[in-house]
Amino acid sequence: MNYITQPQQIEQESFVIIGDIVRAERPDYRFASELHEKIIKRAIHTTADFDWLDILTFSPDVLECIEASLRAGATLYTDTTMALSGINKTRLAEWGCEVKCFVAHSEVAEVARAKGITRSMAAVDLAMSQPGPKLFVFGNAPTALFRLLEICHDDPALICPVIGVPVGFVGAAESKQALAESPLPHIAALGRKGGSNVAAAIVNAILYHLSQARS
């Protein structure tokens, strides 16, 4: 059997194929910028789903806000350990940043139980109590996104960028629509599609782009 065995070559060939398909099937499609293209194509690469050309939305200033947060050494807060695991820690460390997930934190479990809320909501509360610049990365929990929107609505001084792509049927589409209509700098996936793998892929696309631009 004859097949490609080198990971980098597999990835490079995948992106060539993605580009060829977009040009063939969507000849009039135009990416807003080079970074928009990298993010959307990496979401497609992660899922083999070309709907990302249409469902991934960006607020006007979100890419600049995310880059500024990374340059400021922001902490990324994810709603799942899967998203945390998928983010490239080496690239993140180049910017003096780290990533955390509080969902399994003992304090979060206690608060969630006492208040009758999800652990994802309690994890957002704990994250918002931490010092320093923040970037939220949600791929699974609509309640986490709703909670962040509530907090930032009550105190606009706490507004921070968010990658919001929760997947699912209960609250997922609604939470992302609320994000798209909010003043938060955001990358949001409209509809039901999303996932922790997509959330991590979006972060990695940005990190790879910034690293290449700096080298």
45, 105, 153, 209: which is the annotated catalytic residue? Answer: 45
Residue appearing with tokens 């990416």:
31
Nearest to 189 by CA among 205, 201, 175: 175
Nearest to 140 by CA among 110, 170, 108, 161: 170
The dihedral built from the CA positions of residue 143, 140, 162 and 126, taken in this order, carries a sign that is positive
> CB–CB of 128/150 below 8 Å?
no
* CA count, 13 A, side-chain hemisphere, 13: 8
Asked about 45 being catalytic, the answer comes back as: yes
Give the catalytic positions in this structure.
Answer: 45
